[in-house]
Structure 1
Amino acid sequence: WMCVMVCPFGAIVQDVENHIAVKCDLCPDRDDYACVVACPTGALFVGTKEEFEKKIKEKKAKR
């Protein structure tokens, strides 16, 4: 349950009945995703497989 305690957005909650952590609601009240914006390393991405592949190609082209 450590993720529940450390999430800076309070987005992770315990489902005690089912013994799971509910981790994502896709930020319905935002135009972006809080975790993606806050990730200090840029490691998080939300999108389609095609969008992800395009992003990887763009990063490789910058090298």
Structure 2
Amino acid sequence: MDTTKFVHWQDGDSWIGYLAEFPDYHTQGDTLADLEDHLRDLYADLSTGKVAGARRVGELQLP
């Protein structure tokens, strides 16, 4: 099973988060589990090109 990192926090009654690879795209849920479901859907859309021009974070090797 593949994994990806995400950042999350609770704001009042909502859980808000984003995928570390795609920090410009936030989503929210009523619970942490609900947020994780939304993040999975968001990842599917972003990683398959359904969102045109999606910006992502990469890693650069330095000398």
| More strand as a share of residues | 2
TM-score when scaled to structure 1? 0.28
Calculate the TM-score normalised by the size of structure 2: 0.28
